Structure 1
Amino acid sequence: MLYTAADAPNRAYGCWAQFSGDGEWDESNNHVQPRSLFYAQLAERLQKGVDERARILPRNTNASSSPKVEVAMELAKEAYTPRLTLQHWIEEGQFAPSTASTGLKVIDTIKEKIIKTPVKHTDISITNGRIQMDGALLVGGSHSTPWWNGKLRTNYLEKASPAITRFVPGREGLGLTDRIDSVVNFMKQKDLLVFDQNYGLWYDRRRDDHERVRRRDGDVWGPFYEQPFGRSGQGTAWEGLSKYDLKRPNAWYWARLKEFAEKGADEGLLLFHENYFQHNILEAGAHW
């Protein structure tokens, strides 16, 4: 498609300069009003003046080329005063926020409004060897969560696979800390029915080398694959962090699975949780 100058004309409003070229010119050698479209719209919406709250760099907007003698004399005097710059105006301006408590609500006087959201119950059953939800046959593939591996480089993240319990502090997205809604959408787009969940082979990615040695420090590498049990805060595990407490559930791990199970159920998806992980028995003791 070809475009001409008529499709995207040049426009200049309120210019103080030498003019050259073709385009639309308006208010040349003049000041455009209103000076602030924002405050003009605010005054129109509130139906009252807002000059007391408008903080706009002061300017003399008298653009007359033939002023009265008195006005010309005043303008001549102004020429001896250096023009106020935006930087100086900001530095000299003093903002005194109000600290008055008049009209403010007290938390004790605010009545709590409890909104009850109806809970949606889904009936999942296996009938005649077929998985059904609310009587409807469930059909689709399965997605196995990553057990290990991963890099935090940008060029790698595009190739990453969704994971519910992978954790990267302060970063969200595919290959990082996945948003649960994004995982649900991924499965719907790929016609996947079941999310097959295993906890990670190890938390720290330094263990990918399969060495059975104690790490010299706790400078762990992400992304991290959370375990179903929490840390004890005591002692030092072989990756340099505190030891696990096998009697203490990892609240974040189980909360993430719960969120996916609930949101996935609304979309006809299932969570299949592998509560026991025997991969270390089948392959290498270094996993522990």
Structure 2
Amino acid sequence: MSQSFLSGVDLDAFVRQTLAEDLGEGGDVTSAATIPAEARLEAVMASRDDVTVAGLPLAAMFFRALDPEVHIQQPVEDGAQVAAGTTLMRLFGNARALLTAERSALNTIQHLTGIATMTRAYVDAIAGTGCILLDTRKTIPRLRALEKYATRMGGAENHRMRLDDGVLIKDNHIAVAGGVAEAVRRAKAAGLSLPIQVEVDRLDQIEPALVAGADRLLLDNMTPDLLRAAVELVRGRVPTEASGGVRLDTIRAIAGTGVTYVSVGRITQSAPAADIGFDYA
């Protein structure tokens, strides 16, 4: 998995903790009771749907954690768009170990591939508009880096990873600070050396935000007509981002208004798990 997307993530610890959660104190009692310790297994992991793949190297780590000698063939790479029935991974190793790791590996790759697949559908929906799809911080706690990796595999770009890598002044900040201009002024005065993005939900907030020094505008819950008017008011002075309630059936109309970005929370928050099987070969 690309370390440029997962900088600072301890994947080994993730694998250890996930396996520990599944193994409990007594381990895989079913496999231990029914399968000889020396038994070997050849298995195939395959997609049962058309998907965009994400998480294959991480899935492989689960199997290697329990059987360091396992032989793994991986004919496709993360980010590939594959048809139903495509073999994603072929494994040959200790039967007990592979079956013990199976659920942890599948849970992970099904979740990440589900995110990548939904993301790809949104990216395809705005193809040719020049607009860029962004993810959000609407992620499962402790899985943000992995989920945002999956959106990258689906063709999106990452928005903020954390609260400390960009200033995003939202409606509640504005209300407490006493207005758009005052919130931006305070952010500028803080000297953070970070880009300042401001959420606006009315056209009359745009000019005060820009005059105060906003570097980017988040146009929140605006109709396509309002977005078009907002883009005209901005006149290319800063990038614009549409956000709020964006769906697959509405994103193209939103992207067509001329906004620079569209951010979609549901690609991480609501993506269904991909149907991926692990079967005896």
Greater C-alpha Rg: 1
Q: Tell me the TM-score normalized by structure 1.
A: 0.19
Structure with bigger helix share is 2
Asked which structure has the greater RCO (Cα within 8 Å, sep 6+), the reply is 2
